[in-house]
Amino acid sequence: MSNDEFFDIKKDWSTIKDRLLRSYLMPYFTKILATKKPVRYIDCFAGAGRFKDGTLGSPLIAYEAAVEALEISKNNDNVLKLYFIEKDKNNFKSLVSNFENKNNNIIGDFFNDSFETTIVDIVNRFGNVNLFLYIDPYGVISLNKSILEKLNLQKLNTVELFINFNANGLFRTCCLALKKHLPKDIHFSGCDDFVEDKMIGSDGLINRINGILDGVEWQEIVSEKYSQSINYKIVEEELLHLYKKFLNKYFEYVIPIPIKMNSDICKYYMVYATNHPDGAVLMGSTMCNAKAINSNIYYPDSLFSFEDLDPEITRANLIELLKEYSGIHLNKLIGFYYDKYGLSCNVKDVLKQMEGDGKILVTRYPAFFKNTNKKSKSWTENANQKVLIGLNK
C-alpha cells in the first residue's frame, strides 16, 4: 500500500483508532476547558483530513469534537486551537481544502513539514497551555527520543500524548536493521507501517531504532527470538516495554492499550501518556466503555485484546500499590494501577468490594451530600469531591 492508496478507503483498524480518538477527545476537551487555560491540540501526522470514501480523518474528527465541546462548555472559541502537521504535499493540499469554510477561530495553523523538524518549535512557543499530541505515523521510525527531550514540558499546564505504536511493525523494522529474515511463524500483512517500508532504507537503521527505544537493549531481545525461538508475543511486549520505560522518564502514567484486528492481521498499541491522574482515569473509562460497546457490536472478540484481570488478581495488585502509597487519592491510585499492571476495567468494582469487606479505609471530602445530608459513598474524584484510600490495618 502506498501513501496515496492509504486515503482511498478507511481500513477497519483506522476506523477503530478514530473511534477511540473521538471517544476520548469529546470528554477531554469538555473537561480541560474548565481549567480556563488555553488548549492546544496537535495532530502530528495529520494526513488528508478526509478519506476518498468520504469518511472523516483524524483532523476533522478533532475539529468536530472541538466544536461540540466549545458549545457545551460555552467557552470562547479562541481558547482552543487545533494544529496540523503533514509532510506529504498532496495530502497537505487535501487537508487544507478540507478545512475551507470551517471556523477559523478554532484552527491554529497547518504545517506542510515533517513532525521531526517542526514539533519542537511549535510546542516551545506555547506558554502555560494544556497540550494534546496525537501521533499517528505509519510505523515507528519518526518516534525519536530526542524530540521529547527537546520539548519544554515543564512550562505547560498539562500534557497528553496519544501514540499509535506499531509494535508488530517495529519488530519487522528491527529484523530489517539486524539483517534477519522475518520469522515464518509470524503473519505480517495489512498494517499501515508497510507504507513506511518504502520510505526508509536499512542504512543507519540500528541507530534510528536505538533512538526510538532509548538504547541498545532491543538488539538482544530481537536476536534472542532467533537463538531460542522465544514466543513472538513476548518479544513484542518487551519492545513495547522499552518504549514505555522511556516515556515513563517524562510521564507518570503510561498506558498501552493493545488493539488487534482479526487474529494477527494487524496489531498495534495506542499508547497514552500523561502526568495527570484525571486524564489517566478518563482514558481508562473511555476505553472500557468503547470495549463494552464495540466488542459486542462491531468486531466480536477482535477489537481490544486487553482482558480484565481476575478480580482476585486485581485485588492483590491494589494491595501491593496501597502498601506503597497509603492514603492515596483515588485517581492517582487508578492511574498508577493502569501504568503498572495495564488497563483493566474492574478496578473500581474491586475497590468497592474491598471497602465493603473492610480491607480499605475510604475517606471522602465532603463526607456528606449537601442537599440530603446523607453519607457520601462516591467513587468519583474531581474538583468538588476527593476520595482518599488507605489499607485498613
Ligand X SMILES: C[S@@+](CC[C@H](N)C(=O)[O-])C[C@H]1O[C@@H](n2cnc3c(N)ncnc32)[C@H](O)[C@@H]1O
Task: Give me the amino acid identity at 79.
Answer: V
Instruction: Look at strands 130-135 and 158-165 and give their pairing.
Output: parallel
DSSP letter for 142, please: T
Looking from the CA of 93 toward its CB, the CA atoms found within 13 Å total 3
Pair 262, 299: CB distance under 8 Å: yes
For residue 58, the minimal CB distance to ligand X (Å) is 3
For residue 70, the minimal CB distance to ligand X (Å) is 22
For residue 184, the minimal CB distance to ligand X (Å) is 28
Q: How far apart are CA 86 and CA 114, in angstroms?
A: 6
Kindly tell me which residue out of 45, 83, 84, 306 binds ligand X, with binding defined by CB under 6 A: 45
Kindly tell me which residue out of 33, 85, 200, 261 binds ligand X, with binding defined by CB under 6 A: 85
Query: Where do we find the cell 495553523?
Result: 109
Of the pair 88, 278, the CB lying nearest ligand X is at 88
CA-nearest of 14, 129, 30, 145 to 83 is 129
User: Looking at the chain, which runs of residues are DSSP E strands?
Assistant: 39-43, 80-85, 107-111, 130-135, 158-165, 253-261, 266-274, 328-329, 360-365, 386-391
Q: How many CB atoms lie within 10 A of CB 263?
A: 9
> 240's torsion region: left (phi>0), alpha (psi -120 to 50) or beta?
alpha
Of the pair 3, 75, the CB lying nearest ligand X is at 3
For residue 369, the minimal CB distance to ligand X (Å) is 43
Mapped onto helix, strand or coil, the DSSP state of residue 66 is: helix
Q: How far apart are CA 62 and CA 150, in angstroms?
A: 26
User: Phi first, then psi: what are they for 257, rounded to 5°?
Assistant: -110, 110
Piece of the chain touching ligand X by CB under 6 A; list 87-95, 125-133, 245-253, 375-383: 87-95
Q: How far apart are CA 52 and CA 374, in angstroms?
A: 56
Q: How far apart are CA 360 and CA 335, in angstroms?
A: 18
258 belongs to the binding site for ligand X (CB under 6 A):
no
**Per-residue binder mask for ligand X (CB under 6 A), 122-141, x = binder:** --------------xxx---
Name the burial class of residue 71, with classes exposed (0-12), middle (13-18) and buried (19+) by CB atoms within 10 angstroms of its CB: exposed
Of the pair 98, 130, the CB lying nearest ligand X is at 98
For residue 199, the minimal CB distance to ligand X (Å) is 7
For residue 197, the minimal CB distance to ligand X (Å) is 13
**Per-residue binder mask for ligand X (CB under 6 A), 142-181, x = binder:** x---------------------------------------
238 belongs to the binding site for ligand X (CB under 6 A):
no
For residue 13, the minimal CB distance to ligand X (Å) is 10
**Per-residue binder mask for ligand X (CB under 6 A), 180-219, x = binder:** ------------x---------------------------
Of the pair 35, 112, the CB lying nearest ligand X is at 112
88 belongs to the binding site for ligand X (CB under 6 A):
yes
**Per-residue binder mask for ligand X (CB under 6 A), 93-122, x = binder:** ---------------------xxx------
Number of residues that bind ligand X (CB under 6 A): 20
Query: Where do we find the cell 492481521?
Result: 265
20's enclosing H/E stretch is: helix 12-33
* Closest chain position to ligand X (CB): 57
Of the pair 61, 309, the CB lying nearest ligand X is at 61
For residue 262, the minimal CB distance to ligand X (Å) is 20
Residues at the site binding ligand X, with contacts judged by CB under 6 A: 3, 14, 18, 45, 47, 57-58, 85-88, 91, 114-116, 136-138, 142, 192
